[in-house]
Structure 1
Amino acid sequence: MADLVYTGRFDLNPARNTREKLLLPLGDIKPLQQAGVYLAVMNQAGRYDYSNPATLFTLSDIGVSAHRYHNRLDIFTQSLENGAAQQGIEVSLLNEKGQTLTQATSDAQGYVQLENDKNAALLLARKDGQTTLLDLKLPALDLAEFNIAGAPGYSKQFFMFGPRDLYRPGETVILNGLLRDADGKALPDQPIKLDVIKPDGQVLRSVVSQPENGLYHFTWPLDSNAATGMWHIRANTGDNQYRMWDFHVEDFMPERMALNLTGEKTPANAER
């Protein structure tokens, strides 16, 4: 059962017929200085209703950020007071019934990796009486206004590159690739499936590429009547997560350089 620790009155004075978001000053309330989980119930003075608005909040020094990927959750715990990583934080995923789905403890860097369970509704972080809650059903932090665009992260990184990305019909497309892990270190050689995709989305050819000394090399001669537009080469490293390399096929005239070579009027001799 919960214990009553504080009762107070706040003069909110909102404008009539409007909804406002107000922050209540709790920092100077001594009974609310102890870390823990609190339930706040509010009611209008002089009224006794059958139901009252209530909310749950925690006082904790455990800061949590969760990064959701295809099949895992990367969780970082740190102190809200000084920003230092927190070791030994017990991190749990709970479903909507409050049942624990998975659990792990943060390392010296404050890092925890958990399997991304679709039934997870709440992330719970606890240590020494401190508790932090993270609702996984709420919308994630909107980063649309920040310039964070970049290549998607995979456990296997397949870097594709070529001498150019603009070709004419009839030319040969050249593509090279390197297979690396998430830290950029070389992975053991393995076959990789490559699909050549036309501008209309149809797969023109599928091949399995084998590396030589860690380098994947693929060439594809374009037909003389190949469709112009944006083509794609799709790579699958076996995890069914596609990596794309794009190139253009256009009718264009390559830049040319004219050279005029002229020699001396007097032929050179051996003495010179």
Structure 2
Amino acid sequence: MQDKHLQNMKYGTGFIAALDQSGGSTPKALKLYGVTEDQYSNEDEMFDLVHEMRTRIITSPAFNSDYILGAILFEQTMDREIEGMHTADYLAEKKGIAPFLKVDKGLAEPENGVQLMKPMPDLDDLLKRANERHIFGTKMRSVIKEANAEGIKAVVDQQFEVAKQIIDAGLVPIIEPEVDIYSDDREKSEGMLHDELLDHLNQLGEKDYVMLKLSIPLVANTYRDLMDHPNVVRVVALSGGYSREDANEKLKHNDGLIASFSRALSADLNVDQSDEEFNEALKQAIESIYDASVNKE
């Protein structure tokens, strides 16, 4: 199954759905979905509600492998079931979609214009569980806020250090050093990030495969050459705070770059929609993101 997912991830047409809001961002995700904090009284109830939301998305007829190559899950989602199957098995077997797992524990405090990932002391155990749950790959996020050479190097150093641990566990890591779209020196940051990524890619072993998840660059096709690197399976883009319309428009100008959107995917979904309304809203979102990922200007 891993080889099949790898081939599809490298050559397939479509995009990756990001369904991995974690503890800190779950209340915001639920609020956007129309579930307010007074509708749950503890964390368990909150996670039950967000799993209901994700289950509704994943089981929708609109959510299928004609448009979607992979889906990124939160740890709790990996451990839960959909229609009697573990979520990753449901995605792979019922939908033909590769399951990914968010493995980072959130962001450290800002330093040198960036936010590194918090330590992940239990990563080996988590990767072992991910393999047991038939996860294909992982995702981990850092943030770059300023064009600080020391900070950007630290972000990429950390990402690739952890990526090697993930590769050794037999999984494909998505490396996500997000550049804040509101930063004043964003173009400079993206140029520096490009060079650091290329340098680190060139140091990987022949069979060390990674994916990159990057902010849609200010200068179109900034990362185009990275897509052709022999160690890169795919380069995907986060929406980064853009509306779906804006993110799609910017994505279209970047050859080979496909979406991995979260908020931009689920923004029009609401708990009070009928199944027909929900499925139609999801279908429209999925088709528009697919179109921006596949049809370039």
* TM bin (shorter chain): under 0.3
Structure with bigger strand share is: 1
Q: Which has the larger radius of gyration?
A: 1
State the TM-score, normalizing by the size of structure 1: 0.20
Structure with bigger helix share is: 2
State the TM-score, normalizing by the size of structure 2: 0.19
